[in-house]
Amino acid sequence: MLVEIFTPEALLFKGEVTSVKVPGAKGTFVILNHHAPIISLLTEGEVKLFEGKKELQHFTITGGTLECNQNKVVILAD
């Protein structure tokens, strides 16, 4: 799936991954390929990007929003 992570200053990441782990408002959750559409608030924590079981990259955020639709995840992070 395509993941894009934006901050007010810059595009932090744009690329293909197999899963994303995020700090949701009601707890940490994972989005996999072809996930159902979702919009969620994010809290302080780590956004982790995976290719299979291998962690590719992680980012520390203080909050934000996430939208997943049509196998694309867009994160607007603080």
List the beta strands (DSSP E) in the chain.
2-6, 11-16, 19-24, 27-32, 38-42, 45-51, 54-61, 64-69, 72-77
Per-residue confidence (pLDDT) for residue 50, from 0 to 100: 97
Per-residue confidence (pLDDT) for residue 72, from 0 to 100: 97
Per-residue confidence (pLDDT) for residue 22, from 0 to 100: 98
How many structural domains compose the chain?
1
Per-residue confidence (pLDDT) for residue 13, from 0 to 100: 97
**Beta strand pairing call for 27-32 and 64-69:** unpaired
Per-residue confidence (pLDDT) for residue 18, from 0 to 100: 96
Residue 6: CATH number of its domain: 2.60.15.10
pTM: 0.93
Look at the block and give the residue holding tokens 């780590």: 46
Expressed as residue numbers, the domain containing 13 is 2-77
CB of 32 closer than 8 Å to CB of 40: no
pLDDT tens digits along 21-77: 999 999 999 999 999 999 999 999 999 999 999 999 999 999 999 999 999 999 999
